[in-house]
């Protein structure tokens, strides 16, 4: 193959002049690295190089070729082949004879000398034309260093005991240029650390690493360290040499005797570099010096030795002498040699050093908490970390310095945590105050900060969030001191004639965080009251104009002003407990809400957020507002929702305001005349628009829907409770342990708001207005009777009217439900309508008997149109259609539960409803015995079925009409025949869903309802029921006769349901063979 290789044969005409002087070996390697267009020649070159690579004697050829005048790429390839002999998988080098290994080492050592003396290397194809052709590429030097270290790792000390002595002798060869030999020497040192002695290398090959390190410690480590220290001095001859020497010390100090580095050879130079003032024409090595000292400080040892080390290093004096201002100025300049060594800038490495020193002190404090030397170290470290934070704007001009800020924040955060655990003294109080003052300065918005235009906004927000978290931790650690410092800051701000919006925003933010942490602390309450009481004046000063025009000369200034205002409103909304006792402060806050920096702001987001926050404020303070500020509040609010400019407030924001108005107007003890007047101002335009929409297509339906939603929001404050109706059972009560309650619409969920009773009665005028509104809403159905959007909003409003009008809504229910049933085309349609019926049943109870008597047959008939008849077991599939029908079934069972729980079960067996009553009973039994799974809400369905059957047994037992429903069979026989099977099958399904863990709250409640059903059935039927359960049903499921008999005795003698639950669960476990 070599004979066949010729320059002309490669067809590389475009670059042929570069290969004129190549021999066949060099040409083959070059064409394997840079394949020619001729595939045949490329394959021949690759075949040759692979043959060399895989040959047991390939190393001989490569070593012979290394001294040749070849291109660097070829030499690099040869070194790569030699390195493959040391691969862990093959370790071919270990199979060579001792003579061959000696030859291998000798030739590589000779090449080390040759590479530093060669001056006629050919130019590399990958090197630009401007590069010195006699230079040795970095990649070649690094590869050679790795090869030498591989030899050391393999042969030191048993075959090459003088390896390191040879390297040090090479460093002293005067025949070689000092720069070249020093460069190669330290490359070998760094490679030795990377590949052999570092922690990572030790984890890869512990035997090799420990062998080399133990031998070095016992022989020449002192000489090796001395060879580094000679490059350090008052004025080093070469900056790179000094950096390399410090880097070597930094790498090796983790496993050598620390006194070899922490001595007069290294420390004076390190200290002088860290404390040196900037000098012209004098290179600074602060980063290297800080990194080396950090390695010394971080060396692992016990606490006593660490304290002694820190004291001997004179850390306090060093930190006090560091010229911090000059370091900040130099923060954006990094020596290339230090960057190549993976070091940060000087400020970054100093920040890491300070953090490491402080963290070591913190760890030692766990052992020696009263050692004053450690607290002194901390007191000297904190100012540097705080200084970095204060100067972060300059420091972060270079993104590489982000670590410096992170290290400083970490130090400070750990110091605060230490104070939290160990307690506060005078010194720590002073330090915490310094930290707070720094937070006050750097957490404010930067000048011209605008997140919409600032690309670095996300970074600032992240940093600010860390500072706020730090502030909260300080407030928890030293609450009273924090409150005092914050109050002083606020008072100083208030005393200024001019101040920045960003400062006010930060003040509100910090006060809000303090209030979140200690809402009941008297000092915090007073602090919040002071801020809220003075803030309206300050906000007015920030906003020079009260009109809707621009409030600042720049977008960024406007953003900061808006942010300050919104933080004030957010603080006010959170502080409602304080404001409820300070109506004078509340009045000023309301003025701000409706002012030019609130709902009248020119900024759309500010108006939107303000509307939401006003609603949050009104909800807990509705009673105070209705009692003291009703007229003022409504006079300010009504124009906003009645404004001609429809784009001024977003539609959703208007809904917030309508709800806020309704909450205030709905308070019963408010002035009746004023309530009616303002309510009419709000509701009349809405009703008019809906009426016009219903009769004329000229008005868009969408506008009518918006008015409907607005009326619904307004109605949320008007909830009427009938004093003589107290629903005994609602879906919420029945399923209080279930997470997937679909019948909860049927219960009045809140009878009070912040301890204030809601309206029990409404003035006649307001009732009349609501009726007119409901008429208008119902008339809109004519525009689009089958429209889903109209139906959805109509049902929403009907839900609201049940709560708002109370019993006045019953005639509307009676007349509207049949039409809505006819328009229900899908299972979800019926489900949504059934939720409204459930709500009305729970709201009005027995007063709804006549209405439900007329509606019941139509309702259940429509339900059965969407349920699979007698085959409810088919619903256990997972299709979307079946899922919808399961939801309908759950709501249907909740409907029956509402009827039974509110003394309306008799509706089912009235003469009007008898024809469908039998099917209703069968649907309950079938639903209880379906093998549901957990994802379908099976536990909820079973529980509801058991409750419904309980009511039927207890309420129908003396009703003669029940016999006609059961086709002439006695009710007692019906119970004995069907209820035992329901109880056992339902219990088995519940236990299967929970895998036998009946102690889960939802499963336990299901079993309780099941046992209640058994108790009620036994009380009515006595022995027939018990015999059917214990001698027929339970044995048919495989339950042991003795266990059946024992359970029957427990059921007849034990009155405590909770006692019977585990007993019944054991019976079910045996049936299911659950251990």
The tens digit of pLDDT for each residue in 49-103 reads: 888 888 888 899 999 998 888 889 999 999 999 999 888 667 788 889 999 999 9
Phi-psi region at 1027: left, alpha or beta (left = phi > 0; alpha = psi -120 to 50): alpha
Q: Would you say residue 991 has pLDDT above 50?
A: yes
Q: What is the pLDDT of residue 965?
A: 63
Q: Would you say residue 1021 has pLDDT above 50?
A: yes
Q: What is the mean pLDDT of residues 583-602?
A: 89
Q: What is the pLDDT of residue 936?
A: 57
Helix, strand, or coil here: 835?
Answer: helix
Q: Confidence class of residue 720 from pLDDT cuts 50, 70 and 90?
A: low
Q: What is the pLDDT of residue 736?
A: 40
- Between residues 760 and 1053, the one the model is more confident about: 1053
- Between residues 546 and 95, the one the model is more confident about: 95
> Lowest mean pLDDT: which of 14-18, 522-526, 841-845, 1037-1041?
14-18
Structure tokens at 848: 């709804």
Q: Would you say residue 883 has pLDDT above 50?
A: yes
- Percent of the chain past pLDDT 70, that is, above it, reads 85
Q: What is the pLDDT of residue 898?
A: 92
Which residue's entry shows tokens 């957990």? 934
Alpha-helix runs per DSSP H in 518-671: 522-542, 555-574, 576-579, 583-593, 604-628, 630-641, 651-665
CB-based contacts of 304-310 (< 8 A; 24+ apart in sequence) = 304/367, 304/368, 306/360, 306/363, 306/364, 307/364, 307/368, 307/371, 307/373, 307/374, 309/258, 309/262, 310/357, 310/360, 310/361, 310/364, 310/373, 310/374, 310/377
- Between residues 88 and 588, the one the model is more confident about: 588
Q: What is the pLDDT of residue 110?
A: 92
> Lowest mean pLDDT: which of 15-19, 551-555, 692-696?
15-19
Rounded distance between C-alpha atoms, residue 869 and residue 876, angstroms: 14
pLDDT tens-digit profile of 663-701? 999 887 767 888 899 999 999 999 999 998 888 777 788
953: Cβ–Cβ under 8 A, 6 or more apart, which residues? Answer: 975, 979, 1013, 1016, 1017, 1020
Which residue's entry shows tokens 């605008």? 450
Q: What is the pLDDT of residue 434?
A: 94
- Give me Rg for the CA atoms of the chain: 43
Q: What is the mean pLDDT of residues 420-434?
A: 90
Nearest partner of 845 among 891, 893, 807, judged by Cα: 807
Q: Would you say residue 283 has pLDDT above 50?
A: yes
b/e for 33-70, b at 16 or more Cβ within 10 A? Answer: beebeeeebbebbeebbeebeeeeebbeebbebbeeeb
C-alpha distance across the termini of the chain, in Å: 77
Q: Confidence class of residue 996 from pLDDT cuts 50, 70 and 90?
A: low
1049: Cβ–Cβ under 8 A, 6 or more apart, which residues? Answer: none
Structure tokens at 133: 């052709």
Rounded distance between C-alpha atoms, residue 823 and residue 790, angstroms: 12
Total residue count of the chain as it appears in this document = 1075
Report the C-alpha dihedral over residues 356, 357, 360, 362, rounded to 10 degrees: -110
- Between residues 501 and 625, the one the model is more confident about: 625
pLDDT tens-digit profile of 304-359? 999 999 999 999 999 999 988 878 877 667 778 888 888 888 889 999 999 999 99
Q: What is the pLDDT of residue 54?
A: 86
Structure tokens at 381: 């470290």
Can you give the pTM of this predicted structure?
0.75
- Between residues 328 and 280, the one the model is more confident about: 328
Q: Would you say residue 750 has pLDDT above 60?
A: no
Rounded distance between C-alpha atoms, residue 383 and residue 850, angstroms: 81
CB-based contacts of 784-788 (< 8 A; 24+ apart in sequence) = 784/701, 785/823, 786/823, 786/825
Q: What is the pLDDT of residue 869?
A: 64
Helix, strand, or coil here: 278?
Answer: coil
Average pLDDT taken over every residue of the chain: 83
Q: Would you say residue 1024 has pLDDT above 80?
A: yes
Cβ contact 31:7 at 8 Å: no
Phi-psi region at 587: left, alpha or beta (left = phi > 0; alpha = psi -120 to 50): alpha
861 HSE (CA, 13 A, CB side): 12
Q: Would you say residue 1065 has pLDDT above 60?
A: yes
Nearest partner of 258 among 210, 188, 209, 308, judged by Cα: 308
Report the C-alpha dihedral over residues 727, 731, 735, 736, rounded to 10 degrees: -50
Q: Would you say residue 538 has pLDDT above 80?
A: no
- Residue 372: in which H helix or E strand, if any? helix 372-390
Q: What is the mean pLDDT of residues 1010-1019?
A: 90
Q: Would you say residue 298 has pLDDT above 80?
A: yes
Q: What is the pLDDT of residue 336?
A: 84
Q: Would you say residue 19 has pLDDT above 80?
A: no
pLDDT tens-digit profile of 885-916? 888 999 999 999 999 989 898 898 888 988 88
Q: Would you say residue 758 has pLDDT above 60?
A: no
């Amino acid at each position: 193959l070599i004979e066949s290789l010729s320059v002309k044969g490669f067809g590389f005409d475009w670059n042929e002049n570069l290969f004129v002087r190549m021999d066949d070996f060099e040409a083959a390697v070059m064409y394997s690295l840079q394949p020619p267009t001729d595939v045949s020649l490329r394959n021949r070159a690759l075949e040759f190089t692979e043959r060399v690579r895989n040959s047991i004697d390939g190393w001989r050829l490569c070593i012979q070729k290394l001294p040749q005048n070849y291109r660097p790429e070829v030499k690099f390839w040869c070194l790569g082949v030699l390195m493959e002999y040391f691969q862990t998988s093959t370790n071919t080098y270990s199979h060579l004879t001792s003579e061959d290994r000696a030859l291998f080492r000798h030739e590589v050592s000779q090449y080390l000398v040759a590479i530093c003396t060669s001056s006629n290397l050919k130019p590399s194809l990958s090197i630009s034309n401007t590069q010195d052709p006699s230079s040795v590429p970095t990649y070649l030097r690094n590869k050679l260093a790795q090869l030498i270290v591989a030899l050391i790792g393999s042969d030191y000390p048993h075959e090459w005991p003088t390896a390191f002595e040879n390297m040090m002798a090479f460093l002293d060869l005067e025949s070689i240029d000092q720069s070249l030999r020093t460069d190669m020497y330290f490359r070998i040192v760094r490679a030795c650390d990377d590949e052999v002695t570092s922690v990572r290398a030790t984890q890869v090959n512990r035997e090799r690493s420990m062998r080399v390190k133990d031998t070095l410690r016992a022989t020449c480590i002192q000489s090796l360290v001395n060879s580094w220290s000679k490059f350090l001095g008052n004025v080093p001859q070469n900056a790179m040499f000094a950096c390399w020497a410090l880097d070597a010390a930094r790498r090796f100090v983790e496993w050598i005797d620390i006194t070899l580095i922490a001595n007069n050879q290294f420390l004076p130079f390190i200290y002088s570099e860290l404390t040196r003032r900037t000098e012209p024409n004098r290179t600074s090595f602060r980063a290297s010096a800080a990194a080396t000292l950090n390695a010394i400080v971080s060396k692992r040892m016990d606490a006593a030795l660490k304290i002694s080390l820190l004291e001997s290093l004179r850390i306090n004096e060093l930190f006090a002498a560091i010229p911090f201002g000059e370091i900040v100025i130099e923060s954006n300049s990094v020596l290339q040699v230090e960057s190549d060594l993976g070091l940060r800038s000087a400020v970054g490495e100093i920040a890491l050093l300070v953090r490491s020193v402080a963290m070591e002190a913190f760890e030692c404090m766990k052992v020696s908490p009263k050692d004053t030397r450690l607290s002194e170290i901390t007191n000297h470290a904190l100012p540097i970390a705080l200084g970095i934070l204060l100067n972060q704007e300059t420091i972060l001009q270079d993104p590489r310095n982000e670590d410096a800020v992170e290290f400083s924040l970490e130090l400070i955060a750990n110091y605060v945590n230490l104070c939290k655990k160990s307690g506060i003294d005078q010194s720590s109080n002073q330090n915490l105050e310094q930290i707070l003052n720094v937070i006050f300065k750097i957490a404010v918005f930067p000048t011209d900060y605008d997140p919409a235009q600032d690309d670095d906004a996300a970074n600032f927000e992240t940093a600010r969030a860390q500072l706020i978290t730090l502030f909260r931790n300080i407030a928890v650690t030293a609450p009273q001191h924090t409150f005092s410092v914050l109050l002083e800051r606020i008072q100083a701000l208030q005393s200024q004639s001019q101040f920045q919006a960003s400062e006010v925003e930060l003040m509100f933010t910090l006060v809000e965080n303090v209030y979140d942490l200690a809402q009941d602390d008297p000092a915090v309450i007073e602090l919040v009251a002071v801020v809220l009481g003075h803030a309206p004046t300050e906000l007015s000063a920030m906003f020079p104009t009260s009109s809707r025009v621009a409030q600042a000369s720049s977008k960024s200034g406007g953003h900061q002003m808006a942010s300050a205002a919104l933080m004030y409103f957010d603080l006010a909304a959170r502080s409602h407990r304080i404001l409820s006792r300070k109506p004078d402060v509340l009045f000023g806050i309301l003025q701000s809400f409706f002012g030019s920096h609130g709902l009248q702001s020119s900024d759309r987001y500010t108006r939107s957020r303000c509307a939401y926050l006003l609603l949050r404020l009104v909800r807990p303070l509705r009673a105070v507002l209705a009692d003291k500020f009703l007229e003022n509040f409504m006079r300010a609010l009504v124009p906003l929702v009645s404004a001609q400019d429809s784009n001024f407030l977003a539609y959703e924001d208007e809904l917030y305001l309508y709800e806020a108005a309704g909450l205030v107007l709905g308070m019963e003890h408010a002035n009746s005349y004023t309530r009616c007047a303002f309510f009419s101002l709000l509701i009349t335009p809405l009703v008019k628009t809906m009426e016009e929409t219903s009769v004329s297509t000229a008005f868009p339906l969408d506008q009518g829907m918006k008015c409907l939603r607005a009326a619904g929001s307004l109605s949320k404050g008007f909830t009427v409770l009938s004093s003589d109706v107290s629903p005994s059972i609602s879906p919420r009560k029945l399923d209080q342990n279930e997470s997937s309650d679909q019948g909860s619409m049927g219960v009045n969920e809140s009878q009070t708001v912040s301890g204030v009773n809601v309206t029990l009665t409404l003035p006649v005028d307001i009732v009349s207005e609501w009726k007119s509104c409901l008429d208008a809403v119902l008339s809109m159905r004519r525009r689009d009777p089958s429209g889903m959007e109209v139906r959805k909003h109509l049902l929403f409003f009907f839900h609201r009217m049940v709560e708002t009008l109370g019993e006045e809504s019953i005639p509307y229910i009676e007349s509207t439900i049949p039409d809505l049933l006819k328009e229900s085309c899908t299972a979800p349609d019926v489900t949504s309508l059934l939720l409204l019926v459930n709500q009305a049943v729970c709201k009005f109870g027995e007063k709804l008997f006549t209405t439900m008597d007329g509606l019941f047959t139509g309702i259940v008939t429509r339900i059965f149109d969407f349920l699979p008849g007698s085959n409810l077991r088919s619903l256990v599939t997972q299709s979307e259609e079946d899922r919808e029908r399961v939801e309908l079934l759950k709501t249907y069972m909740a409907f029956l539960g509402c009827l039974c729980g509110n003394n309306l079960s008799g509706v089912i067996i009235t003469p009007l409803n008898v024809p469908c009553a039998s099917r209703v009973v069968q649907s309950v039994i079938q639903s209880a015995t379906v093998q549901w799974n957990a994802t379908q809400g099976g536990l909820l369905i079973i529980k509801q079925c058991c409750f419904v059957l309980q009511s039927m047994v207890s309420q129908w037992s003396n009703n003669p009409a029940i016999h006609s429903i059961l086709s002439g069979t006695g009710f007692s026989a019906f119970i004995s025949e069907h209820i035992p099977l329901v109880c056992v099958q339902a219990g088995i399904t519940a236990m299967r869903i929970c895998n036998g863990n009946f102690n889960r709250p939802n499963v336990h409640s299901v079993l309780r309802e099941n046992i209640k059903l058994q108790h009620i059935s036994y009380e009515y039927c006595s022995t027939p029921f018990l015999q059917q359960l214990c001698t027929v049903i339970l044995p048919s499921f495989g339950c042991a006769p003795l266990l059946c008999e024992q359970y029957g005795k427990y059921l007849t003698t034990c009155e405590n349901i909770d006692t019977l639950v585990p007993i019944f669960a054991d019976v079910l476990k045996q049936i299911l063979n659950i251990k």
